[in-house]
């Protein structure tokens, strides 16, 4: 972790936060801590807390009459300008933020010191390679598990366990790996129900004339796993001209003259440098002051065109597989564009991946296990800035496009995707640290850090889509999803790229209102089930009293409990269950444990602590009292007595200390 010694100045007063839409600038105190940059106005109503790891760049602007401006851009697309009265103070803040935002080594990242109230192991067991492939029906006669990479000697950026055609010999696998860039040979990533598969790899080291008989045999063996097809597609996600340039460098693509029964297809997804420049231009559109300049800039940055290209490629793969044709996918090294389109194609094919748990497993499989360079692409430590690129951001954006087009098909909502995006950059959890599975094992992340999946599990109510499965038949939910690819169907994700813009959003979106209504309804439905259960218990108690009156020789004592336990066949459990039934006054406590009336958040602008609600301070309902609070006034997720499911739900700090609410529940 960056030491406190990196902080040249921990506090600067009378700092002006510029508002580009008006002259109503905020003046407050800027705090620099080891983990956060914090801005607080004098009355404490406006607070901005941003992790230092979210800082993308810090730039000192020319001196003005009011002071020294400092422009800070963040990785979750917040852009702020602070004006610091003294130039020396500004320089100290500038140097401090440079050090705090770019640690020297992985060991200095926030996740290795971050602490949470729940068990550290929670979430780390979400994904298991063999369990996920068993769900897909593998191993079988056609596909088997290879142990050649258990020590990462075959390919150090691949997972330990690889699924390959059963007919492949060890020699074929070894030689194919030698012939592929970075050793990333063709392996299975998804098997569809019709036996067609998605396989992934990197480009061959073919140059203009080189060939490898074992690699050719490898692709033939892939073809033979699907007896219903006479050929396979080999999809190169790169523009043809890029692949030709790589061929001149000794790499390239498969020659159809050497590989039998393949059909080769190029797709025009640009490289990391083009994508990085495109996103930079998109964020710079925050400076636009007119509609024409904004629309012109949106067109010229090409971002929506790139998202469309990624979706088009994924749809081609999904369509081919659903029609019974196996597809082998690669780009250059097989860890950027390949990860994008393989995961999106699987999302289109398999409804399991559209659930919260399934989406986590999809990310674990195609991005973490198969090696996307998260540490390099998102600049976790000091390194080559040319290696950075928004590849995973584009995947999240493409998923958002599908969520907008098919709102009933996904269990998760937009907030879930935003949270994922932000925590890829935050380094608060160890989930995305490293460039491959081997890295994560070397860093000991499962033992030393918390998992993002554990955090999401504790806050599921915030990420559940209330429209999931509504007005949709089972056939529709399980059908292959065909994205709408017309230009007007690909929309700018304002909620991600411009969510910090003042005045862009209404005070309460329709999605927020639906989620709040859904949570309140769920709370009351659970409470109704609990009350019905308690009323049945009371009925049993009445029956006990009737039994006691009929048998005057039986006294209401320990022997009575044993006698009644034989008489009442509906009572499950032991003496603890019996004692619970006798607590009739507990119903009154449980009635108070769940709020039957939630306050509308529409007209509430401040928390009880006087913090102003804005994009930095979201509104949360306490499920116990029904009031609206900010993040810092909410307590831990507690299991309410009034919930028959005993699930963990959000409660404020006051209700968290209420004895009528049970202790935290592990989920």
CA 40 vs CA 94, 300, 507: distances in Å: 19, 38, 22
Closest CA to 650 of 639, 663, 658: 639
Q: Which one, of 549, 616, 542, 553, lies nearest residue 582 by Cα?
A: 542
Spatial CB neighbours of 152, under 8 Å, sequence gap ≥ 6:
158, 160, 437, 438
ω into residue 335 within 30 of 0, thus cis? no
DSSP state of 109: S
Q: Which residue bears the tokens 């950059």?
A: 425
Contacts of 259 (CB under 8 A, 6+ apart): 216, 219, 220, 234
Go through 122-145 and write b for each residue having 16 or more CB atoms within 10 A of its CB, e for each that does not: bbbebbebeebbeebebeeebbbe
Tokens for 566?
A: 């034989």
What kind and span of H or E run contains 29?
strand 26-32
- 325 vs 47: CA distance, rounded Å: 55
Q: Is 171 exposed, middle or buried (0-12, 13-18, 19+ CB in 10 A)?
A: exposed
Q: Report in angstroms the alpha-carbon separations of 86 from 11, 36, 622.
A: 13, 22, 44
Question: Phi, psi (5° rounding) for residue 623?
Answer: -70, -15
> Which pair of structure tokens corresponds to residue 76?
């979750």
Q: Is 648 helix (H, G, I), strand (E, B) or coil?
A: strand
Edge to edge, the sheet with strand 11-17 lists: 47-51, 36-40, 26-32, 11-17, 79-84, 68-74, 55-60
Show Cβ contacts of residue 66 under 8 Å, excluding neighbours closer than 6 positions: 16, 83, 85
3 state DSSP class of 629:
strand
522: CB partners within 8 A, 6+ apart:
461
622 an active-site residue? no
Candidate list 111, 331, 342, 622, residue with the active-site label:
331
Cα–Cα dist 543/564, whole Å: 9
- CB-based contact 247:253 (threshold 8 Å): yes
Q: Which residues of 225-263 are buried (b: 16+ CB within 10 A; e: fewer)?
A: bbeebeebbbbbbbbeebbeebbeeebbbbbeebbeebe
Catalytically active residues, by annotation: 331
């Amino acid at each position: 972790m960056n030491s406190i010694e990196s902080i040249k100045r921990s506090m600067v007063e009378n700092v002006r936060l510029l508002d580009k839409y008006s002259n109503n600038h905020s003046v407050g105190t800027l705090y620099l801590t080891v983990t956060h940059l914090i801005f607080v106005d004098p009355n404490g109503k406006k607070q901005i807390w941003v992790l230092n790891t979210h800082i993308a760049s810090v730039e000192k602007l020319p001196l003005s009459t009011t002071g020294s401006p400092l422009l800070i851009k963040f990785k979750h697309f917040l852009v702020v300008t602070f004006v610091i009265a003294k130039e020396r103070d500004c320089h100290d803040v500038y140097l401090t933020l440079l050090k705090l935002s770019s640690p020297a080594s992985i060991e200095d990242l926030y996740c290795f010191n971050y602490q949470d109230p729940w068990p550290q192991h929670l979430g780390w067991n979400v994904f298991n390679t063999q369990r996920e492939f068993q769900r897909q029906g593998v191993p079988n006669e056609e596909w088997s598990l290879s142990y050649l990479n258990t020590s990462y000697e075959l390919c150090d950026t691949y997972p330990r366990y690889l699924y390959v055609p059963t007919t492949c010999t060890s020699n074929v696998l070894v030689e194919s790996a030698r012939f592929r860039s970075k050793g990333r040979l063709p392996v299975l990533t998804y098997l569809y129900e019709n036996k067609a598969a998605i396989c992934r790899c990197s480009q061959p080291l073919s140059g203009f004339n080189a060939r490898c008989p074992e690699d050719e045999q490898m692709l033939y063996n892939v073809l033979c796993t699907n007896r219903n097809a006479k050929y396979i597609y080999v999809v190169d996600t790169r523009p043809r001209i890029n692949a030709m340039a790589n061929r001149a460098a000794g790499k390239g693509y498969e020659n159809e003259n050497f590989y039998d029964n393949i059909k080769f297809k190029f797709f025009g997804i640009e490289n990391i440098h083009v994508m990085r420049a495109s996103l930079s231009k998109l964020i710079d559109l925050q400076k636009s002051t007119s509609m024409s300049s904004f629309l012109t800039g949106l067109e010229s940055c090409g971002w929506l065109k790139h998202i469309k290209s990624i979706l088009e490629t994924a749809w081609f793969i999904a369509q081919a597989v659903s029609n019974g044709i196996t597809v082998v996918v690669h780009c250059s090294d097989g860890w950027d564009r390949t990860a994008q389109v393989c995961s999106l194609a699987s999302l289109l094919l398999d409804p399991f991946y559209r659930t919260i748990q399934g989406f986590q497993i999809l990310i674990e499989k195609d991005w973490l296990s198969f090696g996307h360079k998260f540490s390099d692409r998102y600049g976790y430590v000091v390194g080559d800035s040319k290696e950075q690129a928004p590849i995973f951001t584009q995947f999240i954006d493409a998923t958002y496009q599908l969520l907008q087009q098919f709102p009933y098909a996904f269990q998760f909502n937009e907030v879930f995707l935003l949270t994922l995006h932000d925590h890829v950059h935050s380094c608060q959890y160890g989930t995305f640290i490293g460039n491959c599975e081997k890295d994560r094992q070397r860093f000991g992340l499962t033992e030393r850090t918390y998992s993002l999946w554990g955090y999401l599990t504790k806050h599921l109510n915030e990420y559940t889509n209330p429209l999931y499965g509504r007005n949709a038949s089972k056939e529709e939910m399980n059908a292959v999803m065909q994205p709408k690819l017309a230009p007007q169907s690909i929309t700018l994700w304002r909620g991600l790229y411009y969510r910090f813009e003042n005045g862009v959003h209404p005070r309460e979106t329709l999605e927020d209102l639906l989620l709040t209504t859904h949570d309140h309804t769920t709370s009351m439905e659970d409470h109704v089930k609990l009350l019905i259960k308690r009323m049945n218990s009371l009925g049993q108690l009445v029956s006990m009293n009737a039994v006691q009156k009929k048998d005057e020789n039986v006294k209401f004592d320990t022997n009575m409990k044993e006698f009644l336990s034989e008489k009442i066949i509906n009572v499950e459990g032991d003496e603890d269950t019996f004692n619970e039934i006798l607590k009739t006054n507990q119903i009154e406590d449980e009635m108070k444990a769940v709020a039957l009336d939630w306050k509308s958040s529409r007209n509430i602008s401040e928390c009880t602590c006087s913090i102003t609600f804005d994009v930095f301070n979201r509104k949360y309902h306490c499920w116990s009292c029904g009031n609206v609070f900010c993040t810092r006034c909410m307590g831990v997720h507690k299991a309410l007595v009034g919930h028959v499911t005993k699930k963990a739900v959000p409660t404020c700090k006051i209700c968290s200390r209420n004895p009528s609410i049970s202790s935290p529940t592990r989920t």
